């Protein structure tokens, strides 16, 4: 199974500052078709996860441009510039390159200072 390791486990950020979350994979996530199926989700308190970023760097419909995904191979980063109160929650990376099983990272909890 592909293991996704997220760091940090938790993050406390001042409103308006930048947050950065790392996701490292135990295997390269580049698929044979040339795409890399690494996604980012946010689970706000009491809600279902919501897709933020797909295929490393593409923002899903309605996601603000404050959310920026980057990376390749085994190392990926989600940056949130100008953190706002509605950004709090748990962020998960997810890989759909190697299946089964599809796997999630263990999550990073973003708190607002």
Chain residues in the site for other proteins (CB under 8 A): 1, 37, 39, 41, 48-51, 54, 60, 92, 94, 96, 99-107
Which stretches of the chain are DSSP H helices? none
Query: Given the complex with other proteins, which of 53 and 83 has the nearer CB atom?
Result: 53
Q: At its nearest, how many Å lie between other proteins and the CB of residue 14?
A: 26
CA distance 95 to 20: 19
Q: At its nearest, how many Å lie between other proteins and the CB of residue 20?
A: 20
CA distance 61 to 36: 19
Q: At its nearest, how many Å lie between other proteins and the CB of residue 79?
A: 20
Query: Given the complex with other proteins, which of 49 and 81 has the nearer CB atom?
Result: 49
Question: Residue 79 pairs with which residues in a beta bridge?
Answer: 20, 68
Question: Residue 7 pairs with which residues in a beta bridge?
Answer: 22
Rg of the chain over Cα atoms, rounded to whole angstroms, equals 13
Q: At its nearest, how many Å lie between other proteins and the CB of residue 101?
A: 4
Query: Given the complex with other proteins, which of 17 and 86 has the nearer CB atom?
Result: 86
Query: Given the complex with other proteins, which of 81 and 106 has the nearer CB atom?
Result: 106
> Which helix or strand (DSSP H or E) is residue 37 part of?
none
């Amino acid at each position: 199974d592909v293991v996704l390791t997220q760091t940090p486990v938790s993050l406390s950020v001042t409103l308006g500052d930048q947050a950065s979350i790392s996701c490292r994979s135990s295997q390269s996530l580049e698929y044979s078709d040339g795409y890399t199926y690494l996604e980012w989700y946010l689970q706000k308190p009491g809600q279902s996860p919501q897709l933020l970023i797909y295929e490393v760097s593409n923002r899903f419909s309605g996601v603000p441009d404050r959310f920026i995904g980057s990376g390749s191979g085994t190392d990926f980063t989600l940056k949130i510039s100008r953190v706002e109160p509605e950004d709090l929650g748990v962020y998960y990376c997810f890989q759909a390159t190697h299946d089964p099983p599809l796997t999630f990272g263990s999550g990073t909890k973003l708190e607002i200072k």
